[in-house]
Amino acid sequence: MERLNQNMPGKGHHHILAQPEIGLRMFSCAFFLLAVLLALPSPAYALDVGGIISNAGNLAISSPVRIFIHVVAYVVGASLIFLGMFKLVKYVDDPARNHPVEPWMYLISGTLLIFFVWFVYQRLVPTLFSGDLKGVGSGGGMAGGSGEGLDARFISFVSNVDGPLRAAITAICWLIGVIMAFNGVVRLTKVSQKGPKGPAGAGTLMTFIVAAIMLSLGNMMEAVSFSVLGGVDFSTSYELVAIPKALGKHGEAAKNAFQAALVFVQLIGWIAFARGWLLIRDIVDGTSKSSMLSGFTHVIGGALAANIGSVLKALQATLGITIIS
């Protein structure tokens, strides 16, 4: 009989509505679908891998997407304020059956969403960082490879995706940060919910912290780099001492291939760094089975990969050898 009741349409529909995670996933899918449709008229770049990545980055920060975010925040914020006033009237009429804090959480959350841009860029991000917000960078400025060997093909690939991928990582992290900040504000209305997903839980607090990190990924990378390595070195222009100048153009090709390998490692490092903070947020929120060590490994490993030049210098100083200068 219990199994039959679980399969009834009314029961299933009520069960779905009772889970906020399902509603958030449905909203996220609808958001990205509308964002894609709104950004379709925008001009596209050349049809290569770098152009495709550039289109994805421009999609994330396009004017229609920004306008859509502002409109959704304003509409949801106004709705929360209206609902908060309604709950406040209910509490005044019947204090015994209504939570005294719930109306004020709705009013505060609605106000923050109406002033969403001010809250994110004037209060949320400056809480962790100061100064101008920094992204992933503009790339190493590599030139395309020449010749017919695999080294030339690898150099051409990295030079094509380097700049667009850095811009796309910055744009996508910005979009993730905005969505997480929006999610964090909405979660403040869940007064009755306990645990890390509640308004006073560690998961909600970590959502705001990681949202600020995603909005200013470059600033956080510099902070972690200074803490681990004592400085920041995103350069890839190193001379290979082991390659004699007598090799001529072959030595130059080896140098370019080495530089392309360093750029590729840097790009992987930026992606791992961003993924590490998202893992930490999910772990604190209780939605991931990974360990905290896994999240911090991504963060530290990503910072080391982004500063691959400093790591190589430290390794050769430790071993007493000279490979690059």
Report, as an integer, the average pLDDT of 308-316. Answer: 86
**What count of other Cβ atoms lies within 10 Å of the Cβ of residue 25?**
11
Q: pTM of the full predicted structure?
A: 0.77
When pLDDT is cut at 50, 70 and 90, the band that residue 18 belongs to is very low
Say if residues 129 and 220 touch (Cβ distance below 8 Å).
Answer: yes
Where do the structural domains in the chain lie, given as residue ranges? 21-319
Q: Is the pLDDT of residue 10 over 50?
A: no
When pLDDT is cut at 50, 70 and 90, the band that residue 301 belongs to is very high
The answer to which of 82-96, 130-144, 254-268 has the lowest mean pLDDT is 130-144
The span from the CA of 247 to the CA of 60, in Å, is 45
Q: Is the pLDDT of residue 38 over 60?
A: no
> CA distances (Å), 170 to each of 19, 179, 192, in order?
32, 14, 36
Report, as an integer, the average pLDDT of 225-245. Answer: 77
When pLDDT is cut at 50, 70 and 90, the band that residue 304 belongs to is very high
pLDDT tens-digit readout, 191-224: 666 666 667 678 888 889 999 999 888 888 888 8
pLDDT tens-digit readout, 107-164: 888 888 888 888 888 888 887 777 667 777 666 555 555 556 777 788 888 888 888 8
Percent of the chain with pLDDT over 90: 8
